[in-house]
Structure 1
């Protein structure tokens, strides 16, 4: 069995299993004898339990009927964890519902035991799990693993203090007064309505206070709130803002650093209604907030939000489904706007929420790009230099007032090298992977297999010396340290992420997404190597580049200088200079519609061997208008052998649900006939290449 919902072995004894059929007339199920214990009596009322068995095989993705023994009648409540016999094995499951009769003709097995009577899967959550599984061509069991955390019996047994839910004290619009529609959005939340907005936030640190005020207004109206952010650092910032707005005890924060027991304790606090609001990362998108009144997703374009486990649901879609099902408000915000969020605005599902242009101009930094005519007149090498004179001067002047941020797209020292004479890219002899340098005195090594290539020479001209093709953050910090003697140079990246920096003079070299906030804001920012971000072979390259630039530039003080090293005529550069992500997103969406790419269309990615892909497509009853692109080889890092291929299936947006259903049925057919290989099916993947 695999996370992708497939399997290699059919469970023996399936013909004898209890089944549910909607076509058969309802008949009372017959109790089975249980051997050692003799005959067990079913419960007097609602004796049939419908169980979601923990089996990820697609052809078994349905509930099964079991009898509830009389001795477990009180404990067997909807949503509790149970243990049942399934094909001769004792497996876990969840009790979805109890009914009076079963549609199964044969004998029904009894529940073996109730693991816990805690209703961790309420009916509303079970319905959401089913809907997400169907939307992403996955199984109920796979989504359930994402929705319900593992049990900790000791935590469940802890005494629960009886407390009355507190009401936060809030007054005024606060930060939302900066937005023309901000106060009306809060009033709608306070009145118990369901406003849905795509929020383009003003640059600066006030976004956390804005989210906290929206949550406080929701809680004051007697409803709960769920806030999702990209990483633990953002969780800490929103958590601090919520404490300042709500006080202690009204909300909890979920992060991976807490450990399984503490995470389960806080999750139970939300389930039991002791905490009315929750802030967390993507693992919290199914959190059982009681009386949900508001869902918030910050920076929905961050690829950290993408779920790496099957069926790969995106929090944006899950929270939108939750808002629709619960009649709750929704707030999807960020400094930029994604094409997916723009699609929600164009369809009328949500409304745009942004400040007027005068307020934006007052809050935004002053952005300049390298290669302007005035710069070229003074410095002819400004267009080709990695750090031209204008950037040096901007950094030197700004450091008199505070720290300067330098964003470098690549981590490491020199992640790419080439022949020093003919510029031929340097590759590993063993696996053909790219060679890199870890420091100025280190020998080249392979980024795929790690093998040292100390005796490398160019296969074209025989030259032994190499030159840098791409410069990483560590090499940039080293160069800036020599250019600005006496100025502290600090780095923030995957190895060590800075939480905050002080107001003193410093150079902070960071990779995208690891930029720390500075006390009082950065005095300036240098956005280097824009060609690395813009030149990626990715459908979302321009959108993602603008997002990374604006997230970094938003940390700069109002009217502070921002220098971007990129061609000024490119649309992302122009959008950054004008600080106008909305127009860029609308233009990008219009181009996607014309080309037939997501989110204007729905796509499914199929990854497996060529034979498995052909078999799946042959079994799938694709909707009308479906277009199969490929398959094409998928490179395997660390080897020059391409064993797998990827095919894309494209359909109009209205046929997305039919596409997911067809692929899920085809997966079930392959699973039932014991196909030797599982096809990885991903609906609306972030990367199409």
Structure 2
């Protein structure tokens, strides 16, 4: 005899509250039996809040033997299953690893429902399996051939660290793209030809555009799915529905694309994983690299970390044997020159004579790239007498100049400072302490009269320049691609860049400089101005992996990331202390040096916990339990003036020991 009781749906509630990060049981009314399937959006009552909330059905099963009363599902928001079993498993794993909530991960992975886009998609013809023609297969094989065994490794599902060729490539349509884009696009086509999907994660829209340009004409446009935050909500939701179809595709997107629920994933590739744009700022802050590693384990796909440099995070994986490095059989590298001031030149000369001469010679043939540290005209102003930094009298922000002789302005509040007086020596004269992209362009324009000067920065975005002679002054990361490559590259402000207060500043500088050097034409000189030491040698010899290995070796005795994992705890003193005590009791393997702090930061206490990777599950479980306990205390104390009001905030895998 059949059970008369309704079936039970296990629902993950879409809520930022940590205490709700679990599955809740709801009865499925007879009216929703056909629609209430795993993966669909539903509305359910939340007794503790006395309101309706949205959630996802994770599973539907038979009622258990208990007679406990269950609330019923109030409504099925959409009959389209948007939460696949694989996506839920990945979200759960990623959240547990970061001591966060699965719903926070799904909020990044699943776009908001757009009713019109959904109806249009349901009414459209079924998606057909994309055909990869023989010409595209041959192109992919030829593009992967310089990397010995790369095609076979992708087919096997290997984990690889790939050193990208430092050059640009002319495309059939006359455009230009980085050689890295050709390699990753070819790997994606190789995967698609085998009937499996590919996901390529890139930092920004310029990288995405290069991949799309390389793939144009190789595979059908319908097989390429874009997934990034720059899309409108209806377009992004339609793209998400396309991924859910049982037809393979190639997804190109930013950091959240790592969660794309594609059919039969065969390849996940990350370009330039050291770029901060791939670090998720929203809770729980799972880096795209870590999410890709988790997904590779779950889906048994190939995983490729590609870049002109190698982060210490990837190098650690190579060192432990989890990732295998692969490079071209015939290695090529730019011609890097370490430029310094010569005898008789002013030590303050920004462009040494050797670099100046190289630029003059190269301008006869084509464009020259000049990389600078900052945008604007004069990003930093100081007192002309005592060199004290010039600060706004209203908010304390730094003053900067927008042009020669212009009234200084505050970089924070935007107020002008026409009558500035130094609080240190009472002087009223200001001095430009640095030169941004606009001032550098102005100075070089006077040094090279009659030459085109192009500025490329955040305020003047540019993706490509032609092959005509020009001085292209670009901030780090904003360098456009030149047709045929730059005839010379000059890297300025390197000494200033290395002064950044960051554990990974050496890695970042090497990445900025290497990416710029990769835009040079074959044989063109790349001048690194005023920098010496290990970072400069790594660029000059093009041995970025060796630099990453040396960095790891230096950090290991000091227990610095990524040789260990680091979690940051923030809250009031009592909350943080209680969480640390609970952590020490739960994870007895932690030694006395594991905890740094707590340190008071203007009323908020912050502590860091260093722990080995093997202890990750125990540490994150304890920290998550403390977050839930504190959230429940805060809820119970609501409305009581003497009760605890502060919540505990936990961030795992912070990149630096910043107290």
Fold match, TM over 0.5?
yes
Q: Does structure 1 conserve the Cα–Cα contact (< 8 Å) formed by 2:127 and 2:245?
A: no
1:581 to 1:53, Cα distance in 2 relative to 1, 3 A: same
- Name which of 129, 148, 151 aligns with 1:186: 151
Secondary structure of the residue that 1:217 maps to in structure 2?
helix
Report the counterpart of residue 324 of structure 1 in structure 2.
297
Q: Does structure 2 conserve the Cα–Cα contact (< 8 Å) formed by 1:58 and 1:139?
A: yes
Root-mean-square deviation over aligned CA pairs: 1.9
TM-fit CA distance, 1:274: 4.4
TM-fit CA distance, 1:273: 3.2
Report the counterpart of residue 173 of structure 2 in structure 1.
none
Q: Which moved more, 1:153-162 or 1:658-667?
A: 153-162
Cα shift readout 1:595-654 (whole Å, capped 9, x = no counterpart): 1111110101223444543343344455221511123355xxxxxxx3434321111221
- Name which of 123, 129, 145 aligns with 1:177: 145
TM-fit CA distance, 1:267: 1.2
Report the counterpart of residue 349 of structure 2 in structure 1.
385
TM-fit CA distance, 1:511: 0.9
Runs (5+) with no aligned partner, structure 1: 1-27, 30-40, 635-641
- Name which of 643, 646, 653 aligns with 1:684: 653
Report the counterpart of residue 445 of structure 2 in structure 1.
481
Q: Does structure 2 conserve the Cα–Cα contact (< 8 Å) formed by 1:409 and 1:528?
A: yes
Residue 400 (structure 1) aligned with residue 360 (structure 2): no
Aligned pairs (5 A) from 1:162-311? 162-169=126-133, 170-171=137-138, 173-179=141-147, 181=148, 184-190=149-155, 193-204=156-167, 205-274=178-247, 276-311=249-284
Q: Using the alignment, how far apart are the partners of 2:230 and 2:547 within structure 1?
A: 37
TM-fit CA distance, 1:117: 1.3
The count of corresponding residues between Structure 1 and Structure 2 is 626
Q: Using the alignment, how far apart are the partners of 2:215 and 2:223 within structure 1?
A: 9
Secondary structure of the residue that 1:74 maps to in structure 2?
coil
Residue 346 (structure 1) aligned with residue 319 (structure 2): yes
TM-fit CA distance, 1:499: 1.6
Q: Using the alignment, how far apart are the partners of 2:30 and 2:486 within structure 1?
A: 67
Residue 459 (structure 1) aligned with residue 419 (structure 2): no
TM-score (norm 1): 0.88
Report the counterpart of residue 637 of structure 2 in structure 1.
none
Q: Using the alignment, how far apart are the partners of 2:577 and 2:596 within structure 1?
A: 12
TM-fit CA distance, 1:483: 1.1
Q: Using the alignment, how far apart are the partners of 1:553 and 1:539 within structure 2?
A: 23
Cα shift readout 1:348-400 (whole Å, capped 9, x = no counterpart): 111101125xx33xx422111222xxx624x443x532122222111111111
- Name which of 87, 90, 104 aligns with 1:125: 87
Q: Does structure 2 conserve the Cα–Cα contact (< 8 Å) formed by 1:225 and 1:293?
A: yes
Q: Using the alignment, how far apart are the partners of 2:208 and 2:65 within structure 1?
A: 47
Q: Does structure 2 conserve the Cα–Cα contact (< 8 Å) formed by 1:42 and 1:69?
A: no
1:452 to 1:631, Cα distance in 2 relative to 1, 3 A: farther
Q: Using the alignment, how far apart are the partners of 1:442 and 1:682 within structure 2?
A: 43
Q: Using the alignment, how far apart are the partners of 2:95 and 2:55 within structure 1?
A: 17
Secondary structure of the residue that 2:526 maps to in structure 1?
strand
- Name which of 544, 552, 565 aligns with 1:589: 552
Secondary structure of the residue that 1:558 maps to in structure 2?
coil
Residue 651 (structure 1) aligned with residue 626 (structure 2): no
Q: Does structure 2 conserve the Cα–Cα contact (< 8 Å) formed by 1:295 and 1:331?
A: yes
Aligned pairs (5 A) from 1:368-517? 368-371=337-340, 376-377=342-343, 379-381=344-346, 383-517=347-481
Residue 632 (structure 1) aligned with residue 632 (structure 2): no
Residue 601 (structure 1) aligned with residue 561 (structure 2): no
TM-fit CA distance, 1:433: 2.6
Cα shift readout 1:103-145 (whole Å, capped 9, x = no counterpart): 7652101111111111100111111111111001101221121
Q: Using the alignment, how far apart are the partners of 1:478 and 1:387 within structure 2?
A: 14
TM-fit CA distance, 1:562: 1.0
- Name which of 62, 75, 81 aligns with 2:35: 75
Q: Using the alignment, how far apart are the partners of 1:320 and 1:105 within structure 2?
A: 43
Secondary structure of the residue that 1:128 maps to in structure 2?
helix
Report the counterpart of residue 111 of structure 2 in structure 1.
149
Report the counterpart of residue 26 of structure 2 in structure 1.
66
Report the counterpart of residue 335 of structure 2 in structure 1.
366
Residue 93 (structure 1) aligned with residue 67 (structure 2): no
Secondary structure of the residue that 2:259 maps to in structure 1?
coil
Q: Using the alignment, how far apart are the partners of 2:151 and 2:309 within structure 1?
A: 22
Report the counterpart of residue 106 of structure 1 in structure 2.
68
Q: Using the alignment, how far apart are the partners of 1:233 and 1:132 within structure 2?
A: 28
Q: Does structure 2 conserve the Cα–Cα contact (< 8 Å) formed by 1:213 and 1:245?
A: no
Q: Which moved more, 1:420-429 or 1:295-304?
A: 420-429
Secondary structure of the residue that 2:281 maps to in structure 1?
coil
